A and B are shown apart, each in its own frame.
Chain A
Amino acid sequence: MAKTVLTVDDSKTMREMVSFTLKQAGYNVLEAEDGKIGLGVMALNSIDVIITDLNMPNLDGIGLIRAARADAKYKFTPILMLTTEGDATKKQDGKAAGATGWIVKPFNPEKLIEVMKKVCP
């Protein structure tokens, strides 16, 4: 069964690039444009991996990660955050909230697939 990935990002280009890359690699992909919508999508579906941006309106990535970890359904689900290189503080905040790992922007399709295989083979 193909795994289902949720990409949460307020940048349409970013969502489309992530989504396109993952679909090519055989994943099911759902999209959400902020954390709040993301949580809604998560409640209605069974998500295997979540990829989230950190800076977003309504509910940011950190908030999304916290909410996911507080939910028994997503307690152990891999959550990857999209960060810019060298943003150590954000990375730490994300990890503290319960993020599994990170994907460094700028977006690189190969790297994304590599990381996906790492957390959800």
Chain B
Amino acid sequence: MVTLDRFRETYLNECAELLADMEGRLVAINVQSADVGELNAIFRCAHSIKGGAGAFGFHKTIAFTHRLETLLDKLRDGRLPVTDEAVTALIKSVDVTTAILKAESQGEAIPEDFGADLAQELDKLCGTEGQVIANPGLVEKSEGERKRETYKINFAPHDNIFMTGNDPLLILRELGKLGDMHVALHDERLPQLPNLNYGQCYLSWTIELTTDKGEAAIGEAFEFVADECDLKIEKIEKAVQDDVPRQTMNRRASDAIDANLAVTSIRVDLEKVDRLVNMVGELVITQAMLQVQTRHLSVEQFPELLRGVDELSQHMRELQEAVMSVRMQPVKSVFSRMPRIVRDIAHQLGKDIALVMTGEATEVDKTIIELLADPLTHMIRNAADHGIERPEVRLAAGKSAQGTVHLKASHQSGQIVIEVSDDGAGLSHEKILQKARQKGLIAADAALSVDQIEQLIFLPGFSTSDQVSNISGRGVGMDVVKKNIESIGGTIQVRSEFGKSTSMTIILPLTLAILDGMIVRVGAENYIIPITSIIETLRPKPGAVHAVPDGQDVLNVRGEFIPIVYLHAVFGVANAVHDPAQALVVLVEAGSHKLGVVVDELLGQQQVVIKSLEANADPVAGISGATILGDGKVSLILDIGGVNGILDREDANHLLREAS
């Protein structure tokens, strides 16, 4: 046996994709009018997994996927009806296959009865319950024991059989391996030598073959020449022949497109891509350094050098974009898990829920996609479990019996926006307040704005569900979701209309590795403000800054009062300009709020490579990371949300002070 262990990784990756594909298609199946093309595609997934498993000796995988294949085969050619039970069993099978595959690939022992219930269920659906499946991996060859039979075979190759590189002699040899054979040659058509056309076949044969391998094995010998010969195979003695009707499959055009796509892509280790991204990051720093060093050179003296540096920076930007795009993946890989979750919840709770997904092709950095999976799953669970009501409740409220959960992804000005909305019960402000008071999260008489009330659901230990169900009540609250999202530089907002809808919006950066930054100076320190969060920069007129009674300074920008924060005060920088009218105010957007950041001056715009501080320092509020500037100096990157949080905390302190 040839060992193909080196291709294991490739196979396992492929399986993961096939299983995800299978699950997605299964969940989408409409039981009433199942599409043959879809069933074929699902069948091929199971078939491919089984096919590859043989190469690596994963016998349990073969045995289990064989059951899947048998059932799917019967479903696709209509021998069994597509039922809800069958689809549910198949969906469960995806999990079992995943588990078996994982265990076998890691050489772990699998209990004999693992997945036995499901296997039994599949057999029951197939109508093969209690039958022993003999050597399923080689099912084509050994469909039970066969009797020794004698066949008469008329084999008359067409004139052109050699033109396809086939050779009747080789076929006769193949047949000879199957059993005892007597061959009679018919050479009547053979012309005289001068008339012999080189490359044309004039011969035919009648063969008597006695074998226990069955007719299928004989047919296999002629597999490649079926269209290049007249062939008649009949059993001698018994003239009865089962004509096996050939299933013709309705192939869809999209299959061909899929095949084309597969051929134009390659698999690359994520590690290699990361190394590439890192190297490009280092290059960006080097390039920035070169640019700074050459800034004071005169064009007359060094025209070539300066042009080169210019071109370098342009190419760097393109290289960076190209490399980053390698890491980009459609959010589909996360979205595709959601239908299953919604389906399971709907099943379990007797709800009718439609999941609508849009923007699945939106591309995001792979790391972000991975980190997005858990929070998103939680939000979808929440929407389906707590959001959407039971059909009778919905009907009583004058809504349609079917609830809708909408999952949407889109790009908005260099960021990715993911929205989970449902047309369910909405958030009850009363309940939230009641709960918050009960848990002592707010003072009994605190007066909160609608925004503030809705923000309460993100507090640790908060859950408003009357009953904790076994679906989303797992002790993980929205506070964890919020923390997860914020840990990858995102923000989350909630909007709800009681009785009508809830919508959660996540805003995320496209990548975690590089950002466009504005370098600002405060005293002797440089800081980076992410360009995406900057709205405008202005120097306020004297008197435009007002102090509100709680001590917070606000800036009047065309009639809008925006809180301002002094960076020198936040980070304790000496020798900075204190008077905003002498300094600059950078207006930034932090979540749903605007904020004015007071800095001494703007030094310029630059792409910066984000270096995480976490490995070397504890998290610092208001700082998301560091970078190395062109002159080799380390500069801190501002986390606008965090700076805003510093303000909020002051707000909260005020609130508490007032409440007590």
Contacts of A12 in B (CB 8 A): 266
Interface residues of B in 28-86 (CB under 8 A from A): 40, 44, 47-48, 51-52, 54-55
CB distance from B60 to the nearest CB of A (A): 18
Q: Mark A68-88, 1 if CB is under 8 A from B, else 0.
A: 010000011111000011111
Q: A106-B47, A107-B55 are in contact. List 16 more A-B contacts (CB 8 A).
A: A10-B264, A21-B4, A25-B2, A53-B263, A55-B260, A76-B162, A78-B166, A85-B47, A88-B248, A98-B163, A98-B164, A99-B165, A100-B165, A101-B224, A107-B52, A108-B55
The 4 closest A-B pairs by CB, nearest first: A101-B224, A100-B165, A106-B51, A78-B165
Cβ distance B19 to chain A, nearest Cβ, rounded Å: 14
Query: Which A residues are in CB contact (< 8 Å) with B267?
Result: 13
Query: Nearest A residue to B267 by beta-carbon distance?
Result: A13
Give the shortest distance, in Å, between B260 (CB) and chain A (any CB).
Answer: 6
Is B259's beta carbon under 8 Å from chain A?
A: yes
Query: Which residues on the B side are within 8 Å of A56 (C-beta)?
Result: 263
What are 8 inter-chain pairs, A to B, with CB distance below 8 A?
A17-B7, A53-B263, A86-B249, A107-B51, A109-B2, A109-B55, A110-B2, A119-B170
User: Which A residue's beta carbon lies closest to that of B227?
Assistant: A95
Report whether B224 and A84 are in contact in the complex, using a CB–CB cutoff of 8 Å: no
**Cβ-based interface call for B6 (8 A):** yes
Tell me which residues across on chain B come within 8 A of A89, comparing CB atoms: 251
CA A24 to CA B52, docked complex, whole Å: 18
Residues on the A chain within 8 Å of B263, using CB:
10-11, 53, 55-57
Residue contact A21 to B2, C-beta cutoff 8 Å: yes
Closest to A12 in B: B266
Which chain A positions have C-beta within 8 A of B52? 106-108
Q: A100 to B266, Cβ gap below 8 A?
A: no
CB-CB nearest in chain A for B52: A106
Query: Is B165's CB under 8 angstroms from A77's CB?
Result: yes
In the bound assembly, the distance between CA atoms of A11 and B267 in angstroms comes to 9
A97–chain B nearest beta-carbon distance, Å: 9
Is the CB of B245 closer than 8 A to any CB of chain A?
Answer: no
The interface size of chain B toward A, counting residues with CB under 8 Å, comes to 39
Tell yes or no: B589 within 8 A of A by CB.
no
Q: Are A119 and B165 in contact (CB under 8 A)?
A: yes
Q: Which of A24, A88, A101 contacts B2 (CB 8 A)?
A: A24
Determine if B4 and A79 form an interchain contact, defined as CB atoms under 8 angstroms apart.
no
Please determine whether B7 and A101 come into contact, CB atoms closer than 8 angstroms. no
CA distance A17 to B2 in the complex (A): 11
A40 within 8 A of B: no
- Which residues of chain B come closer than 8 Å to A77, judged between CB atoms? 165
Which listed residue, B54, B174, B228, touches A108 by the CB 8 Å rule? B54
Q: Looking at the complex, which one of B54, B170, B248, B259 makes contact with A118 (CB distance below 8 Å)?
A: B170
- Could you mark each residue 100-115 of chain A with 1 if its beta carbon is under 8 Å from any beta carbon of chain B, else 0? 1110011111100100
Question: Is B173 among interface residues, defined by CB-CB distance under 8 A?
Answer: yes
A95 and B170 contacting across the interface, CB-CB below 8 Å = no
Assembled-state Cα–Cα distance A89/B253 (Å): 12
The answer to whether B264 touches A98, judged by C-beta atoms less than 8 angstroms apart, is: no
| B residues at A contact (CB < 8 Å) | 1-2, 4, 6-7, 10, 40, 44, 47-48, 51-52, 54-55, 162-167, 170, 173-174, 199, 221, 223-224, 227-228, 248-249, 251, 259-260, 262-264, 266-267
Q: Which residue of B lies closest to A60 (CB)?
A: B263
CB-defined contacts of B44 to chain A, threshold 8 Å: 84-86
- Min Cβ gap B56→A in Å is 10
- Nearest CB of A to B141, in Å: 11
Residue of B nearest to A96 (CB): B227
For A, the interface residue count at a CB cutoff of 8 angstroms equals 43
A85, A107, A118: most-surrounded residue (chain B CB, <10 A): A118
A101 to B166, CA, bound (A): 8
- A102 to B7, alpha carbons, bound, how many Å? 22
Considering the chains assembled together, what is the distance between the CA atoms of A55 and B223 in angstroms?
22
- Distance (whole angstroms) from the CB of B106 to the closest CB of chain A: 22
* CA–CA, A13 and B10, complex, Å: 8
Q: A17-B7, A20-B4, A21-B4 are in contact. Are A86 and B40 (CB under 8 A)?
A: yes
Given the interface pairs A95-B164, A109-B4, the reply to whether A121 lies near B173 with Cβ below 8 Å is yes
Q: Which of A1-44 contact B (CB under 8 A)?
A: 10-13, 16-17, 20-21, 24-25
Contact of A57 with B7 in the complex, beta carbons under 8 Å: no
The distance in angstroms between the C-alpha atoms of A43 and B251, with both chains bound, is 37
Beta-carbon nearest neighbor of A11 in chain B: B263
Q: Taking the nearest CB of chain B, how far is it from the CB of A95, in angstroms?
A: 6
Of the candidates B2, B48, B199, the one whose C-beta lies within 8 Å of that of A76 is: B199
Smallest Cβ-Cβ distance to B11: which chain A residue:
A106
Distance of A85 from chain B, by nearest CB (Å): 7
> What's the Cα separation between A109 and B11 when bound, in Å?
13
Query: Cβ of A101: which chain B residues have Cβ within 8 Å of it?
Result: 166, 223-224
List the B side residues contacting A109 at CB < 8 Å: 1-2, 4, 55
A100 adjacent to B164 (CB under 8 Å): yes
Instruction: Tell me the complex Cα distance, A75–B10, Å.
Output: 36
Q: State the Cβ distance, B201 to closest chain A Cβ, in Å.
A: 11
Chain B hits for A106, CB < 8 A? 47-48, 51-52
CA distance in complex: A11, B486 (Å): 40
In the complex with contacts A13-B267, A75-B199, A102-B224, A55-B165 CB distance below 8 A: no
Which residues does chain A contribute within 8 Å of B227, judged by CB atoms? 92, 95
Report the minimum CB–CB distance from A109 to chain B (whole Å). Answer: 4
Contact B165 A84 (CB under 8 A): no
Residues of B within 8 A of A69 (CB): 163
Report which of B6, B47, B264 forms a contact with A57, defined as CB distance below 8 A: B264
In the complex, the chain B residue whose C-beta lies closest to that of A53 is B263
Contacts of B259 in A (CB 8 A): 55, 84
CB distance from A92 to the nearest CB of B (A): 8
Q: Is the CB of A17 within 8 A of B4?
A: yes
Chain B residues within an 8 Å CB radius of A53: 263
A78 to chain B, nearest CB (A): 4
State the CA gap A107–B7 with chains docked (Å): 11
A31 to B619: give the CA distance in the assembly, Å.
53
CA distance in complex: A86, B6 (Å)? 28
Q: Is the CB of A99 within 8 A of B51?
A: no
**Within 8 Å CB of B165, what residues of A?**
76-79, 98-100, 119
A69 to B160, CA, bound (A): 12
Distance from B244 Cβ to chain A, minimum over Cβ atoms (Å)? 16
Take A75-B199, A107-B52 as given contacts and tell me if A13 and B170 are in contact as well, using a CB distance cutoff of 8 Å: no
Q: A13-B267, A21-B2, A75-B163 are in contact. Are A108 and B51 (CB under 8 A)?
A: yes
The interface residues of chain B lying within 8 Å CB-to-CB of A99 are 164-165
Chain A residues, CB < 8 A from B199: 75-76
CA distance A109 to B40 in the complex (A): 24
- Give every chain B residue within 8 A of A88 (Cβ-Cβ): 248-249
In angstroms, Cα B51 to Cα A110, docked, is 11
Q: Find the B residue at minimum CB distance from A100.
A: B165
Give A109 to B223 CA distance when docked, in angstroms: 19
CA A17 – CA B267 in complex, angstroms? 14
Tell me, in angstroms, the Cα distance from A118 to B174 when the chains sit together.
7
